[in-house]
Amino acid sequence: MDLMAGFFYGVIGGLFAELLGLYKLRHLAKAEYPAWIKAVSYWVITLGMVVGGGALVCIYLASGVDMQPIIAVNIGASAPLILGSLTAQVPPAGKID
């Protein structure tokens, strides 16, 4: 799989993950929608995570990992979890004893 195809599949996975979150709101009346659904900051961050899913697949591919499209979609969908686990392991900034 080339980088462009990997990026596309990763973005598709990110979109699927976001659609699942929105799908869970389907039984709510419009007046009951959470306030964050209308916030520009939410949509900017969501777009960033969707693009991040594509970028993460590209990083895997550039590292020599061979993958099928379904794996690329899966990585794109789980990008927030993968990125969250990477940042959780960063040591705190400051003085080292």
What is the per-residue pLDDT for 90? 60
pLDDT class of 79 with cuts at 50, 70, 90: confident
User: Residue 15, Cβ neighbours under 10 Å: how many?
Assistant: 17
Of residues 52, 53, 46, 1, the one with CA closest to residue 22 = 46
Domain boundaries, the chain: 3-80
**pLDDT tens-digit map of 18-37:** 898 889 888 888 888 898 88
For residue 2, give the DSSP letter.
-
pLDDT class of 95 with cuts at 50, 70, 90: low
Contacts of 37 (CB under 8 A, 6+ apart): 25
Cα separation, 53 vs 31, whole angstroms: 31
What is the per-residue pLDDT for 22? 87
pTM of the model: 0.78
